[in-house]
Amino acid sequence: MEPMPQIPMLSYDVVVIGGGPAGMAAAAKAKELGLNVLLLDENDYLGGILPQCIHPGFGIHYFKEELTGPEFAARLAKRMIENGVEYRTSARVLEIRNYSDLEKVVIFTSPSGVYQVWAKAIIYAAGARERHAFEIGIVGDRVAGIYTAGEAQTLMDIYGVLPGKEIVIVGSGDVGLIMARRFALEGAKVKAVVELMPYPGGLARNVMILRDFNIPLYLGHRVVEVRGKGRVQRVKIVKVDENLNEVPGSEFWIEADTLVISAGLIPSVKKLKKIGVEIDPSTGGPVVNDRLETSVPGIFVAGNSLLINDLVDYVAEQGELAAEGAKEFIEKGGIESRKWVKVEKGANVRLVAPHYLSGDRDLYLYLRVSRPMENVEVRIPETGKKVRLPVVKPAEMVRVKLRAEEIRKAQERLTVEVVGA
Amino acid sequence: MKTKVAIIGAGISGASIARVLSKYENLEVHLIEKAPDVGWGVSKANTALIHGGYDDDPDKYPNRARLCIMGNRLWHRWVKELEIPHVWNGALIVATEEEDFDELERLLERGRRNGVPEMRIIDRDEVFHLEPGLTRDAIGALWVPIVGQIGPIPAVIALVENAVANGVKTHLETEVTGIKVENGEVKGVETNNGFIEADIVINAAGLYADEIARMAGIDYFEIHPRKGEYWLFDEGIPGPRRVLFPTPTPISKGIVVTTEISGHLMIGPNAQDLPPEEKDNLATTEEGLEQVWEGAKKLWPQLPPRSRVIRTFAGLRPEPTGGDFIIKAEEEVQGFINVAGIRSPGLTSAPAIAYEVAGIIERDLGVKLVEKERWNPYRREITHFFMLKPEQVNEMIKRNPAYGKIVCRCNNVSEGDVLEAIERMKAIGVKTPSVDSVKFRTKATTGTCQGSFCRPRIIQLLAKEYGVEPWEVTLKGRGSEIGVGDVKALLRGDEA
């Protein structure tokens, strides 16, 4: 792999990829720690997905105040810009090269040209993408009126377009529920929210939306087919059993002109995979240590590229942690290799990050359960840690604070389990 | 005096004919298409193969047998002249049972008779040398190196752009409602956009060729649709290097496993006969897709998890009465030429069909064709950001900064690519802004995310360039508008 003399070269301590909450928090923090930072974002504006999240509910932990998405984004952007972080919008990363442990190259394109940026560290905060209709096995006609929830949100809240009048929503995750309310508020009829699992997929406060707006929720159901000429006209729904197999004879049709798919997010990590970053199949994001460093030294990851979060506050928190990691990496010429404590998934834990802990710092573990339970304890037998929780749900990420001395009690590994109290 | 020619249908056949006829000084060629853009019928959804020409029995299907191999040879030249995306990767027709070799021998013999070069039957060792991921049940194969793949819609677009550059006039969103015949001679074509006078009418209407023929009083054939369904997978999933066929059965070439030209693993099609009235039934079905899955697995056991699919789709092939291509000047209606029942291998045969039609015009209709002194055989491919080196991008950006800005992140399609696509749409007469028109020219929206990031941006660009509101932009023509109005339209009660 050779440098490319033909294209302009820039040089920074750290390049942050992605101008959403994780990236902006990382860039602001890195600058505060004295690093020379360039942030790149492919959109025409900063904020990532936040500018289209015009509902409240953001910032209670991070800013100690409830904000809308655009407000949250504006605060982070202000902090970042006032700190003197350099940033470029409409700048899309084409390739990441791991030239050596201490030299990374980011090639990006923008309306002013293609550039190569040499940096000591990279903080990757490129967010996630949504699963689409084909991935969840919907058959039928390929017609207008099928949108992912995020696309519908972009159309409505960035471009001012109303996608349809009679809406069926696939998935009761937060994005789907919020879009159900959004459509209802604009006078559209939300005819159904269809959820594959026997329980709703979103935060309790968002599930309330269905009651507020009188929207029918079909739990344990699946949208299997879309029919229409030109535009969606009707969708076919079937009931599924406990093994998620279709119940014969249970199908029915709902007339609608729009199908909104909110079937979950997948971390955008293609470019990391290309350079050999190890991926955790359960999070879909990279395997990381407690500095949020990936398996490629000097490449850090934060936000929904790390794992799908339900609160933007956690995303921003991860951005800052990655910035601290980058600072340490650059200062010491690498994160010291050590005997890491490996985090293992125990009973009713579907995913957990970070994956390796040093024991020299306090940190948060982020985890999700496989199935809902009431009156539980999060336990780490190797450290004796127990945290009592009244209820856990797959939809709600559990965030557990671990102190350095607790981690040090574990030898090579620690197991996180969620069990009845 | 110029002879006026009306071609009905801007699919691969009609477009090829338009290109070939654009060579002649004394023809005035009109290409008529009811869809908003070219190539949106049968040509849109198929296996995109340039077949080898060994498959069709010259006794039963003389036109198919003759034109397929001729078409294959012509495509080797046409893809260069017109810069059509292509790959010549060859095909393996795989035997998994001893008795399959009898069929392969028959195909080899037939191929030799049809004039197919360089075919041979290879043994198990050579099969796995060529294709290590093939089913372990493979015991040999027929190796046909001249098989290839092209982008079918890009091919139609290239042909039409070239035809238009050489003087052909297009009439899009123009639906033929009648054929005017007087004293046994065609006089022209009645359409929803008025009458188009013509001395020669060429019926290349795909699935609707029987209906068009009936408008001229010709009713000896019927077209029925045969549906085939496909799975297309995300990039980065290992697929075969060659086109893989099972040993064929009497009714079908079987379910193919390929890596299509953009590098995606693709499997399909099955074959399901539909009644003649279901010519617009392009719906995928659970049963059909399941059938394809099972069929493909027999050749390529390592199919990815189903969640790695990026698209499923269905295409319709026009099956004519009798099974062979119907390409002839009809004697009872002077000047009316049928190009009907162009089922598989229609894509392969299209260039040969076009020369056939030129020959019919000269021989059977007695029009002496005079070549133009200056006919341009070349057409330049649209700019694809993803094919440029960084320093080339920087050269483009000096002229237009839009070439540096990415719209589709999955496939690295720049805003410049999209604007160029829109310019080219307008140049061939596309009147209604459609996301699909941009998609087929640039590959935007065809990647891992299936357009959920870039579609809103493409809609904005289409709206601006066509001077319409963003919600009036369509996915694929009128009736597929992407919205009902501005975001307050329902609350105000004045939605579209």
Query: Are residues B395 and B478 both part of a single domain?
Result: yes
Cβ-contact B144, B242 below 8 angstroms? no
- The domain in which residue B375 lies consists of 1-85+149-222+321-381
Final residue in a domain of this structure, among B381, B409, B424:
B381
Which residues on B lie below 8 Å from A4 (Cβ)? Answer: 390
Query: Are residues B129 and B174 both part of a single domain?
Result: no
Asked if B391's CB is within 8 angstroms of A6's CB, the reply is: yes
Two structure tokens written together for B396: 């483009």
Cβ-contact B226, B341 below 8 angstroms? no
Domain tally, chain B? 3
pLDDT tens-digit readout, B72-108: 999 999 999 999 999 999 999 999 999 999 999 999 9
Q: Which residues contact B370 (CB under 8 A, 6 or more apart)?
A: B24, B25, B26
Identify whether B46 is part of a domain: yes
For the cut 80, the answer to whether the pLDDT of residue A1 exceeds it is: no
pLDDT at A73: 98
Mean pLDDT rounded to a whole number for chain A: 96
Identify whether B406 is part of a domain: yes
pLDDT at A338: 78
Identify whether B203 is part of a domain: yes
Q: Which long-range contacts (CB under 8 A, 24 or more apart) does A245-251 make?
A: A246/A222, A251/A224
pLDDT at B449: 94
For the cut 90, the answer to whether the pLDDT of residue A282 exceeds it is: yes
Asked if A141's CB is within 8 angstroms of B485's CB, the reply is: no
For the cut 60, the answer to whether the pLDDT of residue A389 exceeds it is: yes
**Number of C-beta neighbours around residue A187 at 10 A:** 16
| CA B142 – CA B121 distance, rounded (Å) | 4
pLDDT tens-digit readout, B254-294: 999 999 999 999 999 999 999 999 999 999 999 999 999 99
pLDDT at B18: 98
Query: Are residues B302 and B198 both part of a single domain?
Result: no
| CA A101 – CA A333 distance, rounded (Å) | 9
Q: Nearest C-alpha of chain A: how many angstroms from B386?
A: 10
Q: Which residues contact B148 (CB under 8 A, 6 or more apart)?
A: B49, B50, B72, B75, B76, B86, B87, B88, B89, B90
pLDDT at A53: 96
Mutation target vs B (from A7, A54, A139, A148; most B CBs, 10 A cutoff): A139
Going by the DSSP 8-state scheme, the letter that residue B334 receives in this structure is B
Looking at residue B451, its amino acid is G
DSSP-based three-state secondary structure for B452: coil
CA-closest candidate to residue A217, choices A244, A190, A183, A248: A190
Q: Nearest C-alpha of chain B: how many angstroms from A185?
A: 9
pLDDT tens-digit readout, A122-149: 999 999 999 999 999 999 999 999 999 9
**Once rounded to an integer, what is the mean pLDDT over residues A5-26?**
96
Q: Nearest C-alpha of chain A: how many angstroms from B480?
A: 4
Which residues on A lie below 8 Å from B390 (Cβ)? Answer: 4, 6-7, 94, 107, 109, 114, 116
Query: Are residues B40 and B181 both part of a single domain?
Result: yes
B171 is catalytic: no
Asked if A7's CB is within 8 angstroms of B480's CB, the reply is: no
pLDDT at A142: 94
Query: Are residues B208 and B131 both part of a single domain?
Result: no
**Once rounded to an integer, what is the mean pLDDT over residues B404-426?**
98
For the cut 90, the answer to whether the pLDDT of residue A317 exceeds it is: yes
pLDDT tens-digit readout, B371-384: 999 999 999 999 99
Identify whether B42 is part of a domain: yes
Cβ-contact A400, A378 below 8 angstroms? yes
Identify whether B472 is part of a domain: yes
Identify whether B495 is part of a domain: no
| A111, A188, A230 member nearest B404 (Cβ) | A111
Question: In this structure, what is the dihedral angle of CA atoms A199, A204, A209, A215, given to the nearest 10 degrees?
Answer: 10
pLDDT at A337: 78
Handedness of CA A281, A283, A289, A293 (dihedral sign): positive
| CA A60 – CA A80 distance, rounded (Å) | 20
Mean pLDDT rounded to a whole number for chain B: 96
Query: Are residues B279 and B397 both part of a single domain?
Result: no
Cβ-contact A169, A262 below 8 angstroms? yes
| B405, B448, B489 member nearest A162 (Cβ) | B489
Asked if A139's CB is within 8 angstroms of B289's CB, the reply is: yes
**Once rounded to an integer, what is the mean pLDDT over residues B286-303?**
96
Q: Which residues contact A141 (CB under 8 A, 6 or more apart)?
A: A226, A227, A228, A229, B282, B283
Q: Nearest C-alpha of chain A: how many angstroms from B394?
A: 5
pLDDT at A261: 98
DSSP-based three-state secondary structure for B462: helix
Final residue in a domain of this structure, among B290, B317, B344:
B317
Asked if B470's CB is within 8 angstroms of A161's CB, the reply is: yes
Mutation target vs B (from A114, A224, A246; most B CBs, 10 A cutoff): A114
| B401, B409, B489 member nearest A92 (Cβ) | B409
pLDDT at B252: 77
B234 pLDDT tier (thresholds 50, 70, 90): very high
Which residues on A lie below 8 Å from B476 (Cβ)? Answer: 144, 230
Burial bucket for residue B354 (CB in 10 Å: 0-12, 13-18, 19+): buried
**Once rounded to an integer, what is the mean pLDDT over residues B420-438?**
98
Final residue in a domain of this structure, among B273, B297, B317:
B317
Which residues on A lie below 8 Å from B309 (Cβ)? Answer: 134-135
pLDDT at B495: 55
pLDDT tens-digit readout, B15-54: 999 999 999 999 999 999 999 999 999 999 999 999 999 9
Query: Are residues B283 and B172 both part of a single domain?
Result: no
Q: How far is CA B209 from the centre of its chain?
A: 16
Burial bucket for residue A401 (CB in 10 Å: 0-12, 13-18, 19+): exposed
CA-CA distances (angstroms) from residue B132 to A226, B240, B299, B315? Answer: 38, 8, 12, 30
Query: Are residues B372 and B406 both part of a single domain?
Result: no
Asked if B451's CB is within 8 angstroms of A6's CB, the reply is: no
DSSP-based three-state secondary structure for B159: helix
Which residues on B lie below 8 Å from A160 (Cβ)? Answer: 470, 486-487
Query: Are residues B424 and B343 both part of a single domain?
Result: no
**Once rounded to an integer, what is the mean pLDDT over residues A336-361?**
94
Q: Nearest C-alpha of chain B: how many angstroms from A146?
A: 9
Which residues on A lie below 8 Å from B450 (Cβ)? Answer: 132-134
Looking at residue B208, its amino acid is Y
* CATH assignment of the domain containing B27: 3.50.50.60
Please report which residue ranges of A290-351 form alpha helices under DSSP H: 312-332
Share in percent of chain B as helix, strand, coil (round to 5): 35, 25, 45
Single out the catalytic residue among B51, B171, B224, B264: B51
Residue tagged 């483009």 (tokens) = B396
Query: Are residues B78 and B198 both part of a single domain?
Result: yes
Asked if B452's CB is within 8 angstroms of A147's CB, the reply is: yes
Query: CA-based angle B339:B341:B345, to the nearest 5?
Result: 100
A2 pLDDT tier (thresholds 50, 70, 90): low
Query: Are residues B153 and B209 both part of a single domain?
Result: yes
Looking at residue B68, its amino acid is C
Query: Percent of chain A at pLDDT above 70?
Result: 99
Residue tagged 């909450």 (tokens) = A21
* Least confident residue range of A313-322, A334-343, B142-151, B449-458: A334-343
| CA B204 – CA A216 distance, rounded (Å) | 49
| B285, B397, B478 member nearest A139 (Cβ) | B285
Asked if A139's CB is within 8 angstroms of B405's CB, the reply is: no
Asked if A144's CB is within 8 angstroms of B480's CB, the reply is: yes
B388 to chain A: nearest residue by CA? A114
Identify whether B43 is part of a domain: yes
Query: Are residues B20 and B53 both part of a single domain?
Result: yes
The tally of CA atoms less than 13 A away on the side-chain side of residue B252 is: 17
Residue tagged 């409240």 (tokens) = A56
| B283, B459, B460 member nearest A227 (Cβ) | B283
Two structure tokens written together for A382: 């190797």
* CATH assignment of the domain containing B277: 3.30.9.10
Q: Are strands A86-88 and A37-40 parallel, antiparallel or unpaired?
A: parallel
pLDDT at A148: 97
pLDDT at A339: 83
DSSP-based three-state secondary structure for A112: coil
What's the ipTM?
A: 0.95
Identify whether B496 is part of a domain: no
Asked if B481's CB is within 8 angstroms of A144's CB, the reply is: yes
